[in-house]
Structure 1
Amino acid sequence: MSKKYNWAILGCGKIARKFVADLSLLPNANLYAAASRSLENAKEFAQDLGFEKAYGSYQEMVEDPQVDVVYVATPHSKHLEHSMLCMDHKKAVLCEKAFAMNTKEVDQMIAASKSNNTFLMEAFWTIFSAKFIKVMELAKDKELGQLRFVKSDFMFKADFDPDKRLYNIDLGAGSLLDIGIYPIFRSLMLLGKPIEIKTMANIRPTGVEDSISMLFSYENGAMAVLTSSFESTCNNQTELCFENGFIKFIREPEFPIFIEKNGVQEEIHIEQPQGMGYELEAAHVMDCLDKELIESPVLPLSYSRDLMEIMDRVRKDAGIVFPKHD
């Protein structure tokens, strides 16, 4: 039986509330502390969700010796600063994606994990989901033949507001870092790192990209077409085209996986998780801590670095710049 770990939340926003709803499902996770720049916000978050303590500064929280592991849920632009703060105080870190603003920052985080001998992982819950694990298993079926083409989208409609996180360039705004990371993740897992990247992006006068299409090519001749957008909606489907069939899926667990192999179609239904899926990554973090690991064998830091390196290449091709970070 795993030991019980005291979890702290750094950044009390919407994603943190969703994460905590799932975290509370785990018997070995103790909802210990919530930290915000505002003590009032921290107290409200702690009271609403059942945390023992509330802190009005991140520094106070990391100085609490009872904190074991911290979920970093601040904007992308603060992930480096806040993850480093936690690791420098020997707190294990689960940091929301995008992991940082660029590869240089990811390298700093990885170095801090090693020098402090402290656990660090990107919060990419999808890799632990039963649906994605099944898709990866199906993709290895030799009867399907070689994977030749990946098409993956993630879109939703958001109102343009340069003061809000999605459109505030100082906070790492744009669809690429926020949701484009998901299609890129799928292509990386299925096809590896591309040899060539071409992009088309809609960039606002403020410098923020709100829609981007990406074309990746690979050494074996395979291709990927990936899109993210705050300007439109779709069913956010991923389609994998093989020599002898295809696989189609969307990430929501209630929808089946569609597979066609040699002309025969099948629907594969996956058992739904208890929560939204965030509990799977949290459970994995605690399993790693039980084993005294400082990185995940399922989602190693080298993977997170590869993912960020690809996004840096995308940004360079598209002309997307973050003035305070690039």
Structure 2
Amino acid sequence: MTKKYNWAILGCGRIATKFASDLKLLPNANLYAAASRDLTRAQDFANEYGFEVAYGSYQELVKDPKVDAVYIATPHSHHHEHTLLCLNHKKPVLCEKAFAMNLTEVNEMVACAKNNNTFLMEAFWTMFQPSFQKAMEIVRSGELGKLKIVRSDFAFNAPFIEDKRLYNIKLGGGSLLDIGIYPVFAALTSLGIPETIKSFAEFSSTGSEESLSMLFKYKNGEMANLTSSFSSYSPTQTEYLCENGYLVLNPRWFTPTDITICKEGGDVYTIESEHREGFGYQYEAQHVMECLDTGLIESPKMTWEISRNLMGVLDRIRIDAGIFFPDHDKQMFF
């Protein structure tokens, strides 16, 4: 008999609403607890999405013996703190990306998971999208020849509000950790860790980076051209340019989407998305429960090494572009 898991959500913001909505699509997921530092907010969230209990503190949540898994949806400036809190109370964790603020924090989170023999995974939902998995299968098959160049972007024109998350350095503000992480992920999952990184940032009046261009160069000549921005719109797609054709993950490429393939000679066709309901967060949640079913503490698909490599490259980009978070980077940079 399949175990039904009591899910808890730590942090009741916008992304938590989508995750909660998609949990309802999974028969082995029970919407059990919602927690916020504001009890009224937690209660409103729990009532809207059908959670059984609401907590006005995260300490109350992790002390509840009925909680089987915690989805952390607070700003990434707090992921390290909240992940350690859950793991030290033996609560399996699915933590939103960016996993943390730097590689030092990620390493501490992984060490804590090992020490407590408790599951931990970065919630990089794109890894589990059927369209992304299909695209990787085609690119790696050699059907289009050797992959030479990755072009990926994610940009939108965000309202400038100084104290809100996107522009607030204390909350990890800036396009890189919020949306630039997606294009970086597209390059790493297809080409690996680059040999050389060049990055160019434009900063807002708060000191946070609002637009970023990243260039990756690889030992064998492959390249990646990546962009993120809060001050302009973009197609928000990813292109894999190969020797004998190219593949495009179409707009909003990091979500369930269609794939366009063009082969040398002009043969163009589309693979339509198989996704039919929800936002697409249910795939990662289902994977977490499959891992818990078999007693794993590390995902075989979104491994700790993948998260470490991703954060390590994000650190290199920030150093090159002059992007710093003083509350988190003292030990690493200064």
State the alpha-carbon separation in 2 of the partners of residues 200 and 45 from structure 1. Answer: 39
Superposed counterparts of 1:49-60, under 5 Å: 49-60=49-60
Aligned to 2:282: 279
Confirm or deny: 8 A CA contact 1:156 1:231 kept in the other structure. Answer: yes
SS at match of 2:328: coil
Letter of the 1:120 counterpart: L
- Percent identical: 60
- Which segment is superposed worse, 211-220 or 231-240? 231-240
How does the TM-score come out when normalised to structure 2? 0.96
- Against the structure 1 CA distance between its residues 8 and 122, is the aligned structure 2 distance closer, same or farther, given a 3 Å change threshold? same
- State the partner residue of 1:27: 27
Deviation per residue, 1:111-146 (Å, 9 max, x gap): 000000000000011111110011001102324211
C-alpha separation between the residues in 1 aligned to 2:244 and 2:114? 45
Evaluate the alpha carbon distance shift between residue 177 and residue 129 of structure 1 in structure 2; reply closer, same or farther with a 3 A threshold.
same
Unaligned runs of 5+ in 2: 330-334
The equivalent position to 2:264 in structure 1, one of 262, 265, 278, is 262
Q: Could you say which residue in structure 1 is the equivalent of 2:297? A: 294
3-state SS in 2 of match to 1:210: strand
TM alignment of 1:285-324, pairs within 5 A: 285-324=288-327
Summarize deviations over 1:85-124 as a string: whole Å, max 9, x none: 0000000000000000000000000000000000000001
Root-mean-square deviation (CA, aligned residues, Å) is: 1.1
Q: How many residues in Structure 1 have an aligned counterpart in Structure 2?
A: 326
After the TM superposition, list the runs of 4 or more consecutive aligned residues in structure 1 that deviate by more than 4 angstroms: 252-255
Aligned to 1:145: 145
Any conservation in 1 of the 2:131–2:257 contact (CA below 8 Å)?
no
TM-score (norm 1): 0.98
- C-alpha distance in 1, partners of 2:270/2:254? 15
Q: Give the Å deviation of 1:254.
A: 6.8
The 8 Å contact of residues 256 and 280 in structure 2, kept in 1 or not, is answered as no
CA contact 1:253–1:271 (8 Å) conserved in 2: no
Q: Alpha-carbon deviations, 1:172-197, whole Å to 9, x = none? A: 00000000000000100000000000
Deviation at 1:237, TM superposition (A): 1.3
Distance in 2 separating the partners of 1:224 and 1:56: 44
Contact 1:2–1:287, Cα closer than 8 Å, also in 2: no
Amino acid corresponding to residue 50 of structure 1 in structure 2:
G
Q: Which amino acid aligns with 2:15?
A: I
Matched with 2:40 is 40
Quick one: structure 1 residues 255 and 39, their matched pair in 2 at CA, closer, same or farther if it must change by over 3 Å? closer
After TM superposition, the structure 1 = structure 2 runs for residues 87-126 of structure 1, keeping only pairs within 5 Å, are 87-126=87-126
Counterparts of 2:306 and 2:11 in 1: how far apart (Å)?
A: 25
Output aligned runs, 1:137-286, within 5 Å.
137-250=137-250, 251=253, 255-263=257-265, 264-286=267-289
Task: Tell me the amino acid that sits aligned with residue 147 of structure 2.
Answer: L
> Cα offset for 1:253?
6.0
Looking at structure 2, the residues matched to 45 and 23 of structure 1 have their Cα atoms a distance apart, in angstroms, of: 14
Question: What stretches of structure 1 of length at least 5 have no aligned partner?
Answer: none
Distance across 1 between alignment mates of 2:121 and 2:136: 21
Q: CA deviation at 1:308?
A: 0.3
- Equivalent AA in structure 1 for residue 291 of structure 2: C
Query: Post-superposition shift, 1:206?
Result: 2.1
Q: Which amino acid aligns with 1:294?
A: I
Q: Distance in 1 between matches of 2:156 and 2:112?
A: 35
Contact kept, 8 Å, 1:207 with 1:321, in 2: the verdict is: no
Output the amino acid matched with 2:148: R
Q: Which amino acid in 2 is paired with 1:40?
A: T
1:2–1:286 CA contact under 8 A, matched in 2: no
Q: Offset at 1:34?
A: 0.4
CA distance in 2, matches of 1:97, 1:30: 23
Asked if 2 retains the 8 angstrom alpha-carbon contact of 1:143 and 1:261, the reply is no
